[in-house]
Amino acid sequence: MRKSTLAAAAASTVTAVALSLAACSNSEPETGTTGTVSPPADTSVKDQWEDAISIGVGNKQGTGLVTQSAADQVTARCIDEGDNLTIEFTAPDGWQAQLTHGSQIVKVKNDDLGYPEHDFETREGIIEATQPKNDAPNRFSMGVTWDKPGPGEVEVQLEDETPPQWVVDSPYKEFAMYAHITCAS
Q: In sequence order, which residues have a C-beta less than 8 Å from that of residue 170 and are 6 or more positions away?
A: 57, 58, 60, 63, 64, 65
Give residue limits of the domains in the chain: 1-30, 31-182
What confidence tens digit (pLDDT) does each residue in 101-129 have?
Answer: 999 999 999 999 899 999 999 888 888 88
Whether the Cβ atoms of residue 108 and residue 120 lie closer than 8 Å to each other: yes
Q: In sequence order, which residues have a C-beta less than 8 Å from that of residue 43 and are 6 or more positions away?
A: 138, 139
User: Residue 124 corresponds to which amino acid?
Assistant: E
Write down the pLDDT at residue 32: 87
Q: What is the value of pTM for the model shown?
A: 0.78
| Rounded Cα–Cα distance for residues 174 and 61 (Å) | 12
| Rounded Cα–Cα distance for residues 60 and 48 (Å) | 7
**Closest by alpha carbon to 111, among 128, 94, 125?**
94
pLDDT per residue rounded down to tens, the chain (185 residues): 554 444 444 344 333 333 333 333 333 345 889 999 998 888 676 666 666 788 888 755 555 577 888 888 999 999 998 999 999 999 998 999 999 999 999 999 999 989 999 999 988 888 888 888 777 667 888 899 999 888 999 999 998 999 999 988 777 788 889 999 999 75
